[in-house]
Structure 1
Amino acid sequence: MQPTKKGIPFVLDPVGMGTTELRTRTIEQLTNSFELQLIKGNSGEIGRLHGDHTVDVRGVDSIAGVTDPVTTVRDLAIKFNGRTVVALSGKTDYVSDRQRIVSVPNGSERLLLLTGMGFTVAALMGCFAQVTKDYFVAAIGGFTVMGVCAELADKKASGHGPASFQIALFDQFAMLTSAELEQHMNITVIA
């Protein structure tokens, strides 16, 4: 049964798209069989889903990503007839619903030291998707909360290792105020 028929937004994270034939086929079957509200992946995963075979994906990590993320997210959203929001994570995150495109540069390089942060941002997007049917806004919300929390955690854990950063990040998720979010969020409207 389609999750959307039960009122549950379908957020797909195409983990490892392009790394193995099985993963690639499975993700293609999901995108062809279900009405997706949101697809969130790293540059390599979104690039492969877009049909770019020059991107380099190893395991779940993007080694060499797309050269034009703005065009990639817009074109992929167009491919899905504007029904699916496309969110590309990276040093700067990009979101498109075919008509609108934004970038979200919030974040911390230290996120690369932690495992599962892509899953975490997809989960944040899913949380936002439960409270708004504007999945473009839900994707931006997920990226913004992750990015702002990472920046604040980076400051709190300055001079300490990745475990301290991870604890500070999770504490920041729990303690983030709307005032902090508004003060630190950085969203650029591209189209």
Structure 2
Amino acid sequence: MKSISFLSILSLLALTLPLVIGSDPSPLQDFCIGVNTPVNGVFVNGKFCKDPKLATADDFFFSGLHNARAVNNAVGSNVTAVNVNNLPGLNTLGISLVRIDYGVNGQNPPHTHPRATEGLIHFQANVGRSPAVAFAALSSQNPGVVTIANTVFGSNPPINPNVLARAFQLDPKVVIDLQNKF
């Protein structure tokens, strides 16, 4: 008798459980325009979502990426970042862009992006006195950047010059000179 009641309960559960489905009202959305203030919004990827009914073309537009930027710094390059902070429509899309303008003999110092990979395309070579330009796509809406020289020689507290001298096979006086520049 116990086995029959157990089987009947198991059968009843097997028939009714597939009818119970729990989910959010709309688990799929095409975009989440990032805003900094919560207005009955959902918090996604570090930003609150703007009401999709209030979306405008400006939420998906960044002006001036085609314009060259002045280069007047020690490394000879100017990086213009386009990410979720200045193009809110990129929120939740997992991408960002940069434009790099190079002066003559300019460079983009060795660096890493801790939260992204980067694809770089040079569109114009640096020939003679003409500037060069490159565009990069990154696989994150907020990739971050860690410049190697700043991290190694400009760390606070500083790394022992003898350790860096051995690691880079340099004279400790050269390492101290480099640390003083940062």
- For the criterion TM > 0.5, the same-fold answer is no
- Higher fraction of strand: 2
Query: Greater helix percent: which structure?
Result: 1
Q: What is the TM-score with the length of structure 2 in the denominator?
A: 0.22
TM-score for the superposition, normalised by structure 1: 0.21
Higher RCO structure, 1 or 2 (CA under 8 Å, sep 6+): 1
| Larger gyration radius, structure 1 or structure 2 | 2
